[in-house]
């Protein structure tokens, strides 16, 4: 894959049309699915190319890197939407709340406490997703499947948070469909509306299972820097 601005624009158009087709085949509307362009470890030129192509919703894994990518660009694009899709340390909660419109990786009470404290001190309140560890992987963040409902309830009632959606990252090397189905079921049971699921390799599958946002990095931008 090359990475001239026009290549990124045409890959974006292709992803959007694949996503629209998957949505239609599932009896859904194309604009019910948001493309989140995952710009972690991508060079500036590619990010600028995506912006030029009209992309406005971006996902980042790390607070500091996101600040480097977006602190200045944000001023030029008032309609930008930034989403944190990597795990968040509690000591960066206030910084994350300042920068991100959406935090997709709420997964523990200590982080909820740190966010609550930041909001009470005047930080803007991002939209919040709960990350679920659907594959019960030791190395992966996220709430356990069996604890999801209770965790969402606690976020709502103890912390006063609105929970917009659930997010998952299926285990590498396993079919993703069952994980997407599981997340959709958990969301329905907990009365949560949105589903962040699906990446470059499986976003069409995720849309069939109800994804409302797909997180696509390499298929859009090309391979990441080491």
Ligand X SMILES: *Cc1c(COP(=O)(O)O)cnc(C)c1O
For ligand X, the binding residues (CB under 6 A) are: 38, 40, 61, 85-86, 169, 199-200, 215-219
Distance in Å, CB of 205 to ligand X, minimum: 13
Give the residue at shortest CB distance from ligand X. Answer: 217
Q: How far is the CB of 206 from ligand X (least distance, A)?
A: 11
For the bound state, the minimum distance from the C-beta of residue 3 to ligand X, rounded and expressed in Å, comes to 14
SS3 percent helix, strand, coil of the chain, rounded to 5, is 45, 15, 40
Structure tokens at 154: 């606690």
Task: Name which of 22 and 119 has its Cβ closer to ligand X.
Answer: 22
Cα–Cα distance, 202 to 147 (Å, whole number): 26
157-180: b (≥16 Cβ within 10 Å) or e: eebebebbbbbbbbbeeeebeebb
Q: For ligand X, give the closer residue by CB, 49 or 119.
A: 49
- Joined tokens for residue 20: 């629209």
Which of 120/138 has CB closer to ligand X?
Answer: 138
Q: Which is nearer to ligand X, 151 or 202 (CB)?
A: 202
As measured in angstroms, the least distance from the Cβ of 48 to ligand X is: 19
Q: Residue 204 and residue 28: Cα distance in Å, rounded?
A: 12
């Amino acid at each position: 894959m090359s990475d001239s601005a026009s290549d990124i624009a045409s890959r974006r158009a292709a992803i959007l049309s694949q996503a629209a087709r998957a949505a239609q085949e599932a009896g859904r509307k194309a604009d019910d699915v948001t493309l989140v362009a995952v710009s972690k470890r991508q060079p500036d030129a590619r990010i600028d190319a995506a912006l030029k192509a009209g992309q406005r919703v971006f996902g980042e894994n790390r607070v500091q890197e996101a600040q480097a990518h977006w602190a200045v660009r944000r001023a030029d694009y008032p309609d930008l939407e930034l989403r944190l899709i990597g795990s968040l340390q509690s000591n960066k909660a206030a910084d994350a709340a300042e920068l991100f419109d959406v935090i997709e990786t709420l997964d523990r009470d200590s982080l909820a406490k740190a966010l609550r404290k930041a909001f009470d001190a005047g930080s803007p309140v991002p939209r919040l997703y709960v990350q679920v560890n659907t594959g019960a992987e030791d190395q992966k963040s996220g709430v356990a499947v069996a604890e999801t409902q209770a965790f969402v309830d606690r976020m709502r009632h103890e912390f006063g948070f609105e929970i917009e959606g659930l997010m998952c990252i299926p285990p590498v090397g396993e079919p993703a469909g069952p994980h997407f189905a599981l997340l959709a079921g958990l969301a329905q049971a907990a009365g949560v509306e949105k589903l962040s699921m699906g990446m470059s390799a499986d976003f069409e599958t995720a849309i069939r299972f109800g994804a409302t946002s797909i997180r696509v990095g390499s298929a859009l931008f090309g391979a990441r820097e080491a």
